Structure formats: structure tokens, C-alpha cells
Amino acid sequence: MIRLSQRLAALKGYPMAEIPAIKRRLVEAGVDVIDTGPGDADYPPPAEVITTLQRAVENPAMSKYGFQQGLPAFRRAATDWMRRRFGLEFDPVTELLPLIGSKDGLAHLPFAVLDPGDVAIIPEPGYQAYIGGTVLAGGEPYIYPLTARTGFLVELDEAPTELLRRTRLLFLNYPNNPTAAIAPLDYLERTVATCRRHGIVLAYDNPYCDLTFDGYRAPSIFEVSGAREVAVEFFSMSKSFSMTGWRLGWAAGAPHFIQALNRVKSYVDTGPFLAVQQAAVTALDNAERLIPPVVAELTRRRDAAVAALRREGFALESPRGAMYLWVALPEGVGSAQFARHALERHGVVTLPGVGFGPAGEGYFRIALTVSPERLVEAAGRLGAALAEVRGVEVGVK
């Protein structure tokens, strides 16, 4: 009898893993499915970025192993962008590491930081790579529930000192997936100070920093003084440039953190595709021109969807960052039950809050990945789904 690891067993299966299969069945049956599930927008990467990729693929040198060093031009473009975007200087060789999507770095950092029994503080609901990497690395996850009470912020000062003493790693992500919360600078300053006091590495996951609305500008964690002592920041090409499947991001931070992550990764992968790194140079060098139209479109989608959902009786904030709506469900309506009903009876894919961990119960997430018109149509269908699910609840009682 083959026995699999206890670490693997500790990672529960995703509660709505059957969504893609149900969606396929419905589409085959001719149902007009609206997919607001994964954070994968319906618009393509910028045309000039695609052209650069096409040309790069024809260069045989781009088909070689990239290794951890990758393409020097990509490192240069990423550090140039960080200078323009945040006013921060990073050495492209020693303070930056290309990643196969930022998920790669987030999931592998715990292998460089944690020993058995060391604690990583994981915000929940949250991106599942944090807990995945922590558990697979043998660390001990401490789940911090993100709630409206704290503005969906992790308030480290509320954690017992004994816990902070054992904590080696903290994951933070603002603008946040899935709650769409943003973090004020004074909050980040407080948090960096606590991390410095307790020797906690701060993994700052920042893939949505450019998707912000109403004049809000999301900072880099390195805008906080002293952050270089404790933080590693993760950036992604996925969301700003719609390059999700191309798999490219990077980590930035002090040389000893970058070296440590580099060492872990050198045992498990051989770096991102060089042609994709070449294409990313075009994207990053033109970010100031390429990103505003994306933000304008997401703003239209957000405004249309928020208004339509409120008309249907849902309670939600209008977010200032990321590409998600975090929608509260009425007391007693289970998020998995609601999401399944909305999909099977009304052809709308959403993600149940519980899919981001038990603390996400009571909410569902809509990704702004389809047109404003489709989002309004989805809101109408979700309103009908909610009325039916509540009707069942009332009938049962």
C-alpha cells in the first residue's frame, strides 16, 4: 500500500474543485454561462507584447534554459519600472529574481525561511499558495481571519506575544484578493516595525498594485522605511498585462533573501521561458501607456457590477483596488451552496468565500473579468439565485 505524505494530507482539496467540470457540462448543453470565477480577464495581453513574444520565439537563443539568472534585459526592465513606479532602487542582479509567476516565489519562500515548528501567519480568506507553501515546507500555519472589523487587515499587535516569538513569516496582500481591501501606509509602517521587532520575514504579495481606482495609488512595501530588513515583495505580469498563462513575475528584496529563494528554486525549476521575459520587457517599458486603459475598463466594470448587485439586495463595498468584488451573503446562506446553485441553475460562475478558507464563509467573490453588460446580467441572475436559496431556507425552517 502506497502511503502519501502527512504534509500533503494536511492540505484539503479545494471545496469547489468541480466548478470547471460543471461549467463544461453546462456549456455543452447550450447554457449561456457567465464566468466571474478565476481572476483571468477576458481581454488579451497588449498587441505589441504579443508581437515581441512571436519574434522572440523565432530566436533559437530564447529556447535555451533561462536558469535563475534569466534574461538580463528583464531584470533591467523590472528594476527600471520599480524606480519609475515607486521611486525605489534595486540592483537587477542581486536584489531581484525572475519567477514562474509570483505564485512560484510565494509558495517557495517558506522553504527558505521555515524550520519545523516555525509559524507562518496566513491571512484567511486568502491566496492558497501561502498555506500550501507553508504546510509543504513543514511550517506551522497560523490562520488569521480577515474580517470587516479590522478592515480586512492583519493586526499583528492583537496576536499573542508567544505566537509572535515563534513566527518567522507573515504573508500580506494589499490590494487584497479576495476582499479587495487596501492597506493604509501607517498600517504598513506599524506592521514592518512589528516584523523587525520579532525577526519576522514579511512576504508582501503585490500583484494588483497597478489595478487601483478613484485616484488611489498602492505602495510598494519598500516605501516603508526599514522594510528592506524584513520584506520580500512579489510582483506579477499576470494582472496588469493580462499575461496570466505566460507565467512570469519577480521577487525583489535584500540580496540575502533573493539568494535564499534562488537557492530553493535552483533545485526545483530552471527559470521562466526567456521569450516571455523578452516580451515582458516591452510590457514594463511601456507600462505607463498600457495600464491606464485596463484600469479604465475595470473601473467601468466595477461601477456597473456594484450598482447592479446593490439593486439586487446584495451588500458590498465599492473596492479601490484589485479586480474583485467581495459580496456578503445573508446570515445562514452557505457560500458553497449559493455558488453551486448560482452555477447550476443560473449559469453564473462565482467563487464561494469558503473556497479561500473557512474564514471566507458568508461571502462570495466576483472577478471583474467580463464586460459591464455581462456583469449586470450576472448580477440579475445572482439576485434570482439568492431569492431561491433563501426561499429554500425559509421553507425548511
Ligand X SMILES: Cc1ncc(COP(=O)(O)O)c(C=O)c1O
- The site for ligand X (CB under 6 A) is made up of 39, 101-103, 127, 173, 177, 205, 207, 236, 238, 244, 249
- Smaller CB distance to ligand X: residue 36 or 102? 102
- Rounded to 10°, the helix 274-285/287-311 angle is 80
Min separation Cβ 153 and ligand X, Å:
15
- Smaller CB distance to ligand X: residue 242 or 262? 242
End-to-end CA separation in angstroms for the chain: 46
Min separation Cβ 165 and ligand X, Å:
28
Min separation Cβ 93 and ligand X, Å:
22
Min separation Cβ 89 and ligand X, Å:
23
Min separation Cβ 173 and ligand X, Å:
4
Based on C-alpha coordinates, what's the Rg of the chain? 21
The count of other CB atoms within 10 Å of the CB of residue 8 is 9
CB-side neighbour CA atoms (13 Å) of 387: 9
Min separation Cβ 81 and ligand X, Å:
15
Say if CB 206 and CB 249 are below 8 A apart.
no
- Smaller CB distance to ligand X: residue 173 or 350? 173
Residues 6+ apart with CB under 8 A from 269: 100, 104
- Smaller CB distance to ligand X: residue 106 or 339? 106
- Smaller CB distance to ligand X: residue 290 or 308? 290
- Smaller CB distance to ligand X: residue 132 or 372? 132
Q: Residue 371 class from Cβ within 10 Å (0-12 exposed, 13-18 middle, 19+ buried)?
A: middle
Min separation Cβ 180 and ligand X, Å:
11
- Smaller CB distance to ligand X: residue 107 or 329? 107
- Smaller CB distance to ligand X: residue 229 or 317? 317
Min separation Cβ 21 and ligand X, Å:
21
- Smaller CB distance to ligand X: residue 127 or 326? 127
Min separation Cβ 78 and ligand X, Å:
13
Q: Which residue is nearest to ligand X (CB)?
A: 101
- Smaller CB distance to ligand X: residue 103 or 168? 103
Residue type, 96: L
Min separation Cβ 205 and ligand X, Å:
5
